[in-house]
Amino acid sequence: ADRLIDKERANEIEIALKKISPKYREIITLKIWGELTFLEISKTLDIPANTAASRYRYGLEALRKILKPNTD
């Protein structure tokens, strides 16, 4: 049952990621699944590290707002 719940939750997260701004989605993907630091992300995307960190925070907040109705 736990695997089914995990799979359903992963699907919800994937759908939510598609709903947020691409600039946030890209940072979150690189940070979480790519396991890159903000410095590495900044070099990859040619943006300041602080910008990468800010976009990450804003992106996570956007995800929380989308997923919140489903988290009890």
Q: What is the pLDDT of residue 30?
A: 97
* Residue 3 confidence class, pLDDT cut points 50, 70, 90: confident
* 3-state secondary structure string across 30-45: HHHHCCCCHHHHHHHH
- Percent of the chain surpassing pLDDT 70: 94
Q: What is the pLDDT of residue 4?
A: 79
Q: What is the pLDDT of residue 61?
A: 96
Q: How many CB atoms lie within 10 A of CB 66?
A: 17
What the chain holds in terms of domains, given with CATH numbers, is 2-70 (1.10.10.10)
Q: Residues 11-23: pLDDT tens digits?
A: 999 999 999 999 9
Stated pTM of the model: 0.82
